[in-house]
Amino acid sequence: MFVIDFIKNNFFSLIFLLIFVSVIQFYINYFNRPSKIPGPIPIPIFGNIFQIGSDLPAALENFQKKYGDLYEFYMGNSRVIVISRPDLIEKVWSPSSIKTTKFIWRTSYSEGIDELDLGTKGMVLNRNIEVWALNRKFMSTISAPSFLRESIKLSNKIIDEIFDYWKIIEKKGMKIDFSKWSDALGADIVATSATGKRMISTAELFDDLNIDNEKSKIKGTWQNGSKFTKAIHLYNQSMSFMMLLPTSFRRNIPFVKDLNKNFLDNKDWISQELNRIISERREEIENTPLDQPLEPNILTLLLTTNTERDLDKVSVGKFDRPLTDDEAKSIIREVFTGGLDTTSNSLAFIIFYIAKHRDVYLKIRDEVLNVFGTLENPDLTYESYGKLKYMEAVISEGIRIFPTISSMPRAATEDVEFDGFSIKADTTVYTDYRAVSNNPKYFKNPEIFNPDRFLNDEKESITKFTYLPFGNGVRICPGKAWAMIQMKTFLIKLVCTFDIESANNYNTPKYIYSTVSRPVDINIYVKTRKNQYL
């Protein structure tokens, strides 16, 4: 009874004492850690969250200026190492096989990531290497020439629809917020390619402008398309939150627990929506006679693998059974989470810069004319895209100067050393792409938009591991080829159809950070091109 009475009478004092002891223990462990890498001093539970704020790229830029090319910070109580020097980056990204790399994991273990169904499923954050490797083989479909040819056709069709809207906008003298249009374009391409269900984000964006009551005649077949796109964006945002905060904190602190529930409810809704789409597609496949072809979208390829309707598009080694709905869902969800927030954002940043540099725009147009022989509805073949070397340089320079993914994590599977500092297994190591690709040590006048640096002799002189737009090694982005096809298709169609002019009076694009850098207010004016050679 004495103990119970003592606790009752001194409850708040005991709570304060426990917190005080925990804080003291935290700092004892911090200041006595074996490898004292430079970095900002964290606080318990929160780590360096208050120094980072809502803009991780800007925070890393400030940290790098203060602490150099190797430093640490804390996300909650988890230690994170940041590197931005080529020899250190090579240690993380160079190995090209599972057997030789020490950085096969994407991030250190996180209970929150498991709650999002990402720790053992899909690809991006999957720590189950056997499942990851299998899913990666299935994802190889998006780099197959047959798929890329279909992607060119689909992109071409959707871009033509967009340009019909833009010609109406042009007549009104209105500016175009390309950051919104690129986002809608990406959603329509990814959703339709992934599932065969036509999303009409671009049509809805035009309808919302309400220009003289004109409405798009394009109809979609995805009932909840716009809601699903927003849910995927929220899902991507939730990853940082779930990794950053300890589980007990997320589940019990007022307001925070509501946000936690919102993210998990959103995850469940996405799962239910994908279950519906998969069920509908299975039924469509079953009701299609064997002698009739199936539409070769990604979901169909997944659902027919190792069945009598197998389209024989994917080589999956010894895997000899059909995929379950849950397996197919985890892969198709990765197509959305990886495809919606990357390519479209990169394209918007690229448009920002070429709208500021008319000489670059005209060089792209000259190259398109030389490759296709005409600017009047050129025949876009997959084989011709490899000849667009200057366009590739423009894309590369846009990604270099303002990368959508400014830093990329990897986690060590065993203890490693950087510059004599010992880093324990399961520690996350961030490669700061933006810091290294904008470092004057490696790129002359890095603040200047100059595609020529990716051509000929200048390209050959670029220091290895200073430019990794799609990563490198064993976990290089499987969507690289698809992303390049989408961006090239848009740029070809754009220079053939319009002249553009920047409507922004600033020289660096604006963005908000939400797991990736999302462009805002990328405003341009368009004018229909009148002469083939102008």
Positions at the binding site: 477
Angle of helix 129-139 relative to helix 325-339, nearest 10 degrees?
70
Q: Tokens representing 369? A: 């004319």
Give Cβ neighbours of residue 378 (< 8 Å, ≥ 6 apart).
Answer: 368, 372, 492, 496
Residues of the binding site for heme:
477
Strand order in the sheet with 70-75: 70-75, 78-83, 428-432, 407-411
Question: How wide is the angle at C-alpha 44 spanned by C-alphas 40 and 50, nearest 5°?
Answer: 50
Distances (CA, A) of 441 to 84, 141, 336, 436, 445: 12, 39, 36, 9, 9
Return the HEC string of 187-243: HHHHHHHHHCCCCCHHHHHHHHHCCCCCCCCCCCCCCCHHHHHHHHHHHHHHHHHHH
DSSP string, 56-81: HHHHHHHHHHHH-SEEEEEETTEEEE
Cα distances (Å, whole numbers) of residue 505 to 174, 352, 355, 519: 16, 11, 11, 15
Provide the token pair at 291: 């002698």
Which candidate, 267, 276, 351, places its Cα nearest to that of 523? 351
Residues 113, 262: Cα–Cα separation, whole Å: 15
d(CA 429, CA 409): 5
DSSP string, 437-468: HT-TTTSSSTTS--GGGGSHHHHHTSPTTS--
* 421-423 vs 416-418, strand pairing mode: antiparallel
Tell me the Ramachandran region of residue 146: left when phi exceeds 0, alpha when psi lies from -120 to 50, beta otherwise.
alpha
Q: 257-276 burial string, b = 16+ CB within 10 Å, else e?
A: eeebeebbebbebbeebbee
Task: Kindly tell me the burial class for residue 48, based on how many C-beta atoms sit within 10 Å of its own C-beta (0-12, 13-18, 19 or more).
Answer: buried
Rg (CA), the chain: 25
- Give CA–CA dist 452/274, Å, rounded: 44
Angstrom distance (rounded) from CA 175 to CA 526 = 8
Q: Which residue has the tokens 């400014």?
A: 406
